[in-house]
Amino acid sequence: MPRDPRYDTLFQPLKIGPVITRNRFYQVPHCTGMGWARPRTVAEMRSVKAQGGWGVVCTEYCSIHPASDDQLHISASLWDDGDIRSHRLMTDKVHEHGALAGLELWFGGSHSANLATRLVSMDVASRPNGVGHPFQSRAMDKSDIRDFRRWHRNAALRAKAAGFDIVYVYATHGYLLANFLNPETNTRSDEYGGNLENRTRLVREVIEETKEAIGGHCAVAVRFAADEAIGEEGCPIIGERREMFAMMAEMPDLWDINIADYSLEMGPSRFIKEGALEPYMKWVRSVTTKPVVTVGRFTSPDTMVRMLKSGVTDLIGAARPSIADPYLPNKIAEGRLEDIRECIGCNVCYSDNSLSVPIRCTQNPTMGEEWRRGWHPEKIAERGSDSLVLVVGAGPAGLEAARTAGARGYRVALAEAGRVLGGRVAREASLPGLSEYIRVRDYRVQQLHKMPNVDVYLDSRLTAQDVMDFGADHVVIATGARWRRDLYDGKRFSPIADDKTTVLTPDDIMDGRLPVGPAVIFDADGYYMGGVLAERLQKGGLAVTLVTPADRVSPWAMNTGEGWRVPSHLMGLGVELIAAHGLKWFDGASVTLACQHSGRERALPATGLVVVGQRAPVDDLFHALHNQGEAAGVLPFTLARIGDCEAPAIIAAATYAGHRYAQDLDRAVDIDLPMQHEKIDVGAMLPTQ
């Protein structure tokens, strides 16, 4: 299909200082958990985005010097010539596919405890570490400032040597330069503190020095927050930011604008929708003649066009939309909007940064596997045989297995027991805040509709005999999992009520079976489900107490950034929160809780209990078939189980499992060494005996 002319504006080139981007699609800096440790992995991942049509592809935050070390998080670094060579892998690939490469120079200040390098961190003042390590920074004196400026300049020169086209001065997100700008953190009384001119001095010096060092060749971008403080959602507190911006408005070649509240800027879809920064951006473009980029989890080309035409921004900045669909620009260019794999806003990609592992994505299972497994989001090897593949269960794992096997050209039959496709995503998307999760299903169903080689059967609960009779060459069971009514106590599962007392699970709530009277939700899972159900019941008119054995509610959701908002959101709704308490027993009239630290017990009146604990795989069909195979010696098909039916986990693990299954069909996979391992290879041969 040709491109819809409505979207032409998205494909106009734009001059950014000395360089020109081919279009308005700009992948803003986003970390990957790969950084300095996995240069090949990161280069291949960024390369795919350039192939997918992004005009600019940036790195993640990139440390300029060992005095800014964010370990255990693995960020990029540009400390020496070795780092230049690593980044070259990326810039060469990005250029090969017609995109510009951007690099975000970063100095963490008191945010970095420098746990690995053990250098004392430096900031505008002596400040406690930003993420709670018991380390404080020293206040930078004049020689420290001179050192910092030199490190920044040298890193900019290395960026140029590495082939970057755009180099950032990073003045947001609570790092060093942001702290110099901020009147609350900058308590200095020298020429770097006090009035606006003084507080902007260091940023101005760094912009000038970066331009002077590399300006003829590279564009210099500044990442800057448009508002001063975190206010009410959508109501910016601009303060002196406009004046500050005006002072520097013409200095860089590009402004990358975001906001003070990271939980909004990178907000999960549970709380934040597309284009949420628009109210903050209203004034920005009128104050500068330089191009502006901003973000907003943009997946709709209509919204993108509106952003450009209404003068909010010149470039469509995207981190998550580019992760979920590295080919988003090309799909718009080719009039293939129905093929766009829209980000669902789960922020699982961010959790990998939090957990210091390579990035993954719920929607795009190839993310992070481009080099290690050679996967590509849009290209896949043709089928290895004429086989018929039977996929049982149309949840996220089954749908992705069917889609990927279908894309490879296999004949595929997808059998779903119910009348609705989507499995857990269809059920969970009906819960408060999770509506965008349905995109996991919708994208895949949309693709399946286009595949004549895939047949979908609803209302088809298969028995082992049905499967045996079907005549498939490959059978994969993706029948999901169900929430348990008992609880894991660290060693085993134990009941928490007698048989006559009703204990509900998330499945009951999703089936519309609600508790009566005051309810306790006991959340031993720790991710989103407990909080989401609390909201569901509270909005259903029940008095709800959310109890967790952890020290805070939804602890795992801290990894996705969702947890930053969960407690205040639930408290605002009227949900009572009790942390650090285990659940001993429920008798239908009250729950007995025990403090995790003292063991002290207390009774909490409640006539309803919902246990959000662990799940049991629904694997009866798999075992029935497996046992038949054991008894007969061999089955007439290969048999596998994937997703929650194999091992319950997050949705991203399910789509990944489905994808991997179909990628590996008819492929000789060495299960002893199933993937490439990127590591420092000292090159020595060790004796084998």
Distance of CA 388 to the CA centre of its chain: 35
* Residue 363 touches which member of ligand FMN, ligand SF4, none, C-beta under 5-8 Å by kind: ligand SF4
Q: Which is nearer to ligand SF4, 267 or 549 (CB)?
A: 267
The verdict on 416 binding ligand FMN (CB under 6 A) reads no
**Shortest CB 260 distance to ligand FMN, Å:** 12
- Could you tell me if residue 617 is left (phi over 0), alpha (psi between -120 and 50 degrees) or otherwise beta? beta
* Residue 164 touches which member of ligand SF4, ligand FMN, none, C-beta under 5-8 Å by kind: none
The verdict on 324 binding ligand SF4 (CB under 6 A) reads yes
> According to CB under 6 A, which one of 350, 622, 656, 661 is a site residue for ligand FMN?
350
Catalytic residue among 61, 168, 170, 175: 175
C-alpha span between 161 and 84 (Å, rounded): 7
The verdict on 177 binding ligand SF4 (CB under 6 A) reads no
The verdict on 347 binding ligand SF4 (CB under 6 A) reads yes
Helix/strand/coil (H/E/C) assignment for every residue in 107-145: CCHHHCCCCCCCCCCEECCCCECCCCCCCECEECCHHHH
Residue 14's beta-bridge partner residues? 21
The site string for ligand SF4 over 292-321 (x = CB under 6 A, - otherwise) reads ----------------------------x-
The site string for ligand SF4 over 325-344 (x = CB under 6 A, - otherwise) reads ------------------xx
C-alpha span between 518 and 166 (Å, rounded): 57
Q: Which is nearer to ligand SF4, 91 or 351 (CB)?
A: 351
C-alpha span between 429 and 622 (Å, rounded): 27
CA atoms within 13 Å, Cβ hemisphere of 637: 24
Distance of CA 526 to the CA centre of its chain: 18
Helix/strand/coil (H/E/C) assignment for every residue in 40-105: HHHHHHHHHHHHCCCCEEEEEEEECCCCCCCCCCCCEECCCHHHHHHHHHHHHHHHHCCCEEEEEE
The site string for ligand FMN over 241-270 (x = CB under 6 A, - otherwise) reads -----------------x------xx----
> According to CB under 6 A, which one of 241, 320, 372, 376 is a site residue for ligand FMN?
320
**Shortest CB 21 distance to ligand SF4, Å:** 22
The verdict on 36 binding ligand FMN (CB under 6 A) reads no
Strand 388-392 relative to strand 315-318: parallel, antiparallel, unpaired? unpaired
Which alpha helices (H) appear in 390-463, and where do they start and end?
396-408, 424-428, 438-449
Nearest 10 degrees: CA dihedral of 449, 452, 454, 457? Answer: 70
Residue 175 bears catalytic tag: yes
The verdict on 280 binding ligand FMN (CB under 6 A) reads no
* Residue 348 touches which member of ligand FMN, ligand SF4, none, C-beta under 5-8 Å by kind: ligand SF4
Q: Which is nearer to ligand FMN, 256 or 508 (CB)?
A: 256
Nearest 5°: CA angle at 285, between 281 and 288? 135
* Residue 324 touches which member of ligand SF4, ligand FMN, none, C-beta under 5-8 Å by kind: ligand SF4
Catalytic residues: 175
**Contact footprint for ligand FMN (CB under 6 A):** 28-31, 60-61, 104, 173, 223, 258, 265-266, 295-297, 318-321, 349-350, 353
**Contact footprint for ligand SF4 (CB under 6 A):** 320, 323-324, 343-349, 361-363
